[in-house]
Structure 1
Amino acid sequence: MALGRLWAVPLIHIVLLLGLCSADDPFVFFDFKVSYITASPLGVPQQVIAINDKFPGPPINVTTNNNVVVNVHNKLDESLLMHWSGIQQRRSSWQDGVLGTNCPIPSKWNWTYQFQVKDQIGSFFYFPSINFQRAAGGYGGFIINNRPIIPIPFATPDGDIVILIGDWYIRNHTDLRKSLNGGKDLGMPDGVLINGKGPYQYNTTLVPEGIDYETITVHPGKTYRIRVHNVGISTSLNFRIQNHNLLLVESEGSYTVQQNYTSLDIHVGQSYSFLVTMDQNASSDYYIVASARFVNESLWQRVTGVGILHYTNSKGKASGPLPDAPDDEFDKTYSMNQARSIRWNVTASGARPNPQGSFRYGSINVTEVYVLRNTPHVTVNGKRRATLSGISYVNPTTPIRLADQYKLKGVYKLDFPNKPLTGSAKMESSVINGTFRGFMEVIFQNNDTKMHSYHMSGYAFFVVYPGAWTAILVSLDNVGVWNLRTENLDSWYLGQETYVRIVNPEATNKTELPIPDNALFCGKLQHLQTPQDISSATTFGGNRLSFVFTLLMILCALIPSFLC
């Protein structure tokens, strides 16, 4: 791009750009090319989804209150949406990257997300949210650091390490999708990956030669913050590092009471931060292990993920048996008690300079109560489906939030039942109607035979063990349309989700940001979509917003005193 062309921009635009930027809330920019590459994480070449030719994708590392701009180039052969898991999109469900709020980014198009990580800290991850694409990768870590004026409740670590663990199939994600559409189970995974790599050959019978494994190099005596995310499909994993204690300090944006664990169960979609001190004698390397929980270990041994923790002064390779996992295949009490032991540290400062605090629960006026019950997969209209309270959700062709914006009727129903339906299950676009600034009590009942972790976009994660229930109280203070789903990808794909619609009856931009000027249109609003100019997309992102951000980036580079 010629500089002469750049400076041809009218002066008023540059003045407006200057107004966008401040030292308090700077902009940070990321350019994501989402494409297929060939990789062999389990020794078999297969198609995976990469970000900027990397699998997994690069971490997003920002600071509280940063304005995050991610320009996503869809180089796949199908539509795409990127979701920022656990990131609380305050006042802006438009940027959430799920089908209830966004039209998919068409193949060969690009789209720019812009959102502020307002008053939030912690460890999260991003991933593609549609078409079962997460089973092929496309994910990466998302770190939100404290601002300098907000202390962290522990000594500053000597390093920061992201570890992505998850079950994995050597079949293409489109083949997995076809299996689910055909009414079949996915079956046992082919392995567990650690940072997109297969297992170290700790056992020559179980692990073939030639598999690339993850090695994390550390310095003796140093303490590292290790952020672990379960980005898999449906398998709960036990995470452990041989001979090292895991001091839990944070979970999905909240500091926790600090406790040591020798291992911790991490369910699908969950994220934890540990402080790990390298206090061993380095007589050899040490195993990093992620193994399946609540399964027949004799069948699943070959699936176990194994990486290597390598001290710079290590005297040899890791060898011998792996550190033991909890031995409770048929008894989930140990895991439940472990989960119950995790507590918020309410004396620590959050993203703002005040304690995280708590509500006076006894005095809260609960405005609505929903009992959400799941079951094993059922047949609805001749199709194998997953349900929540007897409803198997069907995404309308027009996103809910877009339909509201343009006052379209008949796109969805505001009739999600507050108690599980009796009788046959239904396939519907049924949505929960939340009361703005109300308090919703939600009781998750897990009548399935496997673990489920639920997530409400803009809010938090909730774990429900088989045959058990979890009750939560949600403050409906975040205007928008928020996805409520199981994180188990197969059940989510088959309809175990809904949306919570929260509308401020007063028309104001103070509680929800306006529709972005680069909004995509589809379904009943397809006629509003203009073709994307590919040549302009290459240079400026294909829309006015991307042009502004591109120009801002250049100004930041050219003018050192320009605060961005």
Structure 2
Amino acid sequence: MASHSVVSLFFIYISLFSSLCLADDPFVSYEFVLSYITASPLGVPQQVIAINGHFPGPVINVTTNNNVVVNVRNKLDEDLLITWAGIQQRRSSWQDGVLGTNCPIPPKWNWTYQFQVKDQIGSFFYFPSLNFQRASGGYGGFIINNRDIIPIPFATPDGDITILIGDWYTRNHTALRRELNGGKNLGMPDGVLINGKGPYRYNTTLVPDGIDYETIDVHPGKTYRIRVHNVGVSTSLNFRIQNHNLLLAETEGSYTVQQNYTSLDIHVGQSYSFLVTMDQNASSDYYIVASARFVNESLWQRVTGVGILHYSNSKGKASGPLPDPPNDQFDKTFSMNQARSIRWNVSASGARPNPQGSFRYGSINVTDIYVLKNKPPVTINGKLRTTLSGISFVNPATPIRLADQFKVKGVYKLDFPNRPITGLPKMETSVINGTYRGFMEIILQNNETKVQSYHMSGYAFFVVGMDYGEWTENSRGTYNKWDGIARTTTQVFPGAWTAILISLDNVGVWNLRTENLDSWYLGQETYVRVVNPEETNKTELPMPDNALFCGSLSRLQKPEDISSATSILGSRSKLFMILVTMIYVVISIFC
């Protein structure tokens, strides 16, 4: 009887352990090895950043509330961080992958990211955030699917397709970086890539022979969800598919009011998903086009990205002229009106940004107001720099969140101005002091000559207004206070403003930046520090065991810390195997 009791007891332990594991949210694991490879996306051999030997990298595909584990091995010759654009790491800026919160992963080291995609759905992407590396690749798509019990507000698509578009230079990121450091402008890009490939040879004069182009295979009559991300350096792109309507369904985690577009402007860092029905007769293949916006088309024809939509019953190759882009080169009103037409689907189920499901953002009292203005680059201390409200951000040697954790003084100043400074621009590590559970209004004023995209880590914000000219207090009368889209990256047109509202419920230190790589690299960013004044450990996850140390805390870093990081999933698996082994031992002894 004793032997059976012991065995029964162990089986009870196993059952309890298994129930605990199953009751928790699942883990999804990925292994990323970043290295250089030689590729010729525009017909010119060059160094690009690959993940697991591929450019672009793999699509991360997870479900709401999954725990995501990504082990990153850095085989580059310089520091590395991966950031997850639009993924709101709830309560954990430790995993954000930007210099203000994380020490970089040194060459030949690895580091394991672990975060939960809590209460999120939608289309996003990841990329390397340091040293202009995104200009050489290292990026990929990131999909968060609804849980089965939460319906999507449209019929289940017949397929899911990720398309990464972006301007591209045949000079690699180190050469581009040197030009910026030397005070030079990057000039016109050499091309636009679609999924890491150059243009289909739609024009034998403009496009040389031998360039590999993207082909997307589809079946007639089927409807596909096509997720499009602008992962480029600094160019707004117009996306369109010849003879096909783009039914907009979601952007960066929010379902939209479904509207048809023949083409849509997608600005740097932005993501959209469309429902596209294959309703043509397939007498030939069809062009997929990503072309530069707000430029002289006669000068920019050579940089147009072109792929092929191939029906399974296609009778021939695509031919003829490309579908026309919007004809508003010198008038951006069309693009702004298009942006204003994108509305939040307030009746859709699913994960939502805060305030969760209230639809009351327009009536919540604003606690903090910041007017952030960018201008053309200026020279500060002999260096070409970009600014935000007159301040060019300097990344600290010791990350802000790490400095807070170890009470290191003098790393940053909590004094970012709520209005642009009137004196000479300056270089500082100046941070916004966010009010925990406050409701912040930010006006992004673009006094540059090109479109700027702005992104805030850790949050979705409500885009409530945009217009040309200087923002004033009276501009609030034009705000959309009901169904303004909630997203993570918004465009600000030149000579115009965009207003956003943010519910500051996510504790941490969060990056607020332009997504235009050249402007970001030269200092057009800051951080929003959100601290819970109450003594509690429930509003922010603790510092991870595998945290890296740098700057004034470098002495705490041990080389073996890098390879010993073990995910929770790994620990549970080992524990499970130990228990199983113990059962076998008990059975062999008593039975």
After TM superposition, is the score higher than 0.5? Answer: yes
SS in 1 for 2:422: coil
Which structure 2 residue ranges, 5 or more long, are not aligned?
A: 1-12, 460-487, 581-591
Conserved 8 A contact 1:346-1:358: no
Residue in 1 aligned with 2:502? 474
Q: Which residue of 1 aligns with 2:321?
A: 321
* CA distance, structure 2, for counterparts of residue 504 and residue 466 of structure 1: 37
Identify which of 550, 566, 570 aligns with 1:545: 566
The residue aligned with 1:461 is: 489
Shift in Å, 1:506: 1.4
Q: Determine helix, strand or coil for the equivalent of 1:396.
A: coil
Which position in structure 1 is the counterpart of 2:586? none
Give the drift of 1:463. 1.5
Cα distance, 1:378 vs structure 2 = 0.7
1:48 aligned partner? 48
The aligned counterpart of 1:8 is: none
Deviation, 1:265, is 0.2
Query: Are residues 93 and 354 of structure 1, via their aligned partners in 2, closer, same or farther at CA, if it must alter by over 3 Å?
Result: closer
Pair 1:355–1:93, CA change in 2 (3 A): closer
Q: Report the Cα distance in structure 1 between the residues aligned to 2:428 and 2:17, rounded to whole angstroms.
A: 44
Q: Deviation digits for residues 337-368 of structure 1, max 9, x if unmatched?
A: 00000000000012279996344345422211
Secondary structure (helix, strand or coil) at the match of 2:56 reads coil
Are 2:206 and 1:206 aligned? yes
SS at match of 1:144: strand
Q: Equivalent residue for 1:411?
A: 411
After superposition, residues 434-445 of structure 1 pair within 5 angstroms as 434-445=434-445
Partners of 1:349 and 1:356 within 8 A in 2: no
Cα distance in 1, alignment partners of residues 103 and 19 from structure 2: 30
Distance 1:382 1:400, change over 3 A: same
Please report how far the alpha carbon of residue 14 of structure 1 lies from its aligned counterpart in structure 2 after TM superposition: 10
Indicate the RMSD between aligned Cα atoms, in angstroms.
2.3
Alpha-carbon displacement from aligned partner over 1:363-392 (angstroms, at most 9, x marks no partner): 422211110000011111110001000000
Q: Match for residue 427 of structure 1?
A: 427
In the TM superposition, what are the counterparts of 1:152-163 in structure 2 within 5 Å? 152-163=152-163
Partner residue, 1:521? 549
Mapped contact 1:200–1:213 kept (Cα < 8 A) = yes
Q: Give the whole-Å Cα distance in 1 for the aligned partners of 2:305 and 2:578.
A: 46
| 2:407 maps to 1:379 | no
Asked whether 1:107 is paired with 2:135, we answer no
Which residue in the other structure is 1:6 paired with?
A: none
Give me the whole-angstrom Cα distance separating, in 1, the residues matched to 2:162 and 2:529: 34
Structure 1 counterpart of 2:558, which letter? T
Q: What aligned pairs does 1:23-102 form with structure 2 within 5 A after superposition?
A: 23-102=23-102
- 1:24 Cα deviation after fit: 4.8
Q: Counterparts of 2:355 and 2:348 in 1: how far apart (Å)?
A: 6
> CA 1:352 to 1:397, structure 2 compared with 1: closer, same or farther past 3 Å?
closer
* Matched ranges for 1:191-270 at <5 A: 191-270=191-270
Matches within 5 A, 1:482-561: 482-532=510-560, 542-546=563-567, 549-550=569-570, 552=572
Bigger Cα displacement from structure 2, 471-480 vs 263-272: 471-480
Q: 1:178 & 1:17 partners in 2: Cα distance?
A: 55
Return closer, same or farther for 1:135/1:14 CA change in 2, 3 Å cut-off: farther
Q: Deviations over 1:1-53 (max 9, x none)?
A: xxxxxxxxxxxx99998687334510010000011111100001111001111
SS at match of 1:314: coil
For structure 1, the residue ranges without an aligned partner over 5 or more in a row are 1-12
State the alpha-carbon separation in 2 of the partners of residues 370 and 479 from structure 1.
19
Q: Distance in 1 between matches of 2:290 and 2:396?
A: 38
Tell whether the 8 Å contact from 1:458 to 1:478 is kept in structure 2 after alignment.
yes
Q: Which amino acid letter does the alignment assign opposite residue 270 of structure 1? A: Q
1:326-341 matches, within 5 Å, as 326-341=326-341
Where 2:22 maps in the other structure, the secondary structure is: coil
Query: How many angstroms apart in 2 are the aligned matches of 1:318 and 1:559?
Result: 61
**Residue identity matched to 2:508:** G
| One-letter identity of the residue aligned with 2:60 | I
- Offset at residue 237 of structure 1 (A): 0.1
SS at match of 2:560: coil
Tell me the SS of whatever aligns to 1:187: coil
Partner Cα distance (1:559, 1:282) in 2: 59
CA deviations on 1:445-497 (whole Å, 9 max, x unpaired) are 00000001101101122221111101111111110000000000100000000
Aligned counterparts of 1:526 and 1:362: Cα–Cα separation in 2: 46
Deviation at 1:549, TM superposition (A): 3.9
1:148 aligns with 2:148: yes
- Greater C-alpha Rg: 2
Alpha-carbon distance change, 333 to 556 in structure 1, aligned in 2, over 3 angstroms:
farther
Give distance in 1, aligned partners of 2:577 and 2:183: 54
TM-score by length of 2: 0.88
Q: TM-score, normalised by structure 1?
A: 0.93
Cα deviations across residues 153-210 of structure 1 (Å, max 9, x unaligned)? 0000000000000000000110000000000000000000000000000001100000
Q: CA deviation at 1:532?
A: 3.1
1:311 aligned residue: 311
Shift of 1:544: 3.8
Contact 1:350-1:356 within 8 A present in 2 as well: no
CA 1:330–1:558: 2 relative to 1, 3 Å = farther
For the structure 1 residues 17 and 40, does the alpha-carbon distance in structure 2 shift closer, same or farther, using more than 3 Å as the test? farther
Letter in 2 for 1:425: P
Q: What letter matches 1:519 in structure 2?
A: A
Structure 1 residues 287-320: Cα deviation after superposition (integer angstroms, max 9, x where no partner): 0000000000000000000000000100000011
Q: State the alpha-carbon separation in 2 of the partners of residues 36 and 355 from structure 1.
A: 43
Give the conservation status (yes or no) of the 8 Å contact 1:79–1:104: yes
Cα distance between partner residues in 2 of 1:321 and 1:367: 53
- Aligned residue for 2:295? 295
2:14 touches 2:579 (CA, 8 Å); kept in 1?
Answer: no
How many residues end up aligned between the 2 structures? 541
Deviation at 1:80, TM superposition (A): 0.2
Q: Identity over aligned residues, as a percent? A: 82
Cα contact 2:270–2:490 (8 A) shared by 1: no
Instruction: Check conservation: 1:349, 1:355, Cα contact below 8 A.
Output: no
Q: Does 1:130 align with 2:124?
A: no
| Cα distance in structure 2, aligned partners of 1:223 and 1:476 | 38
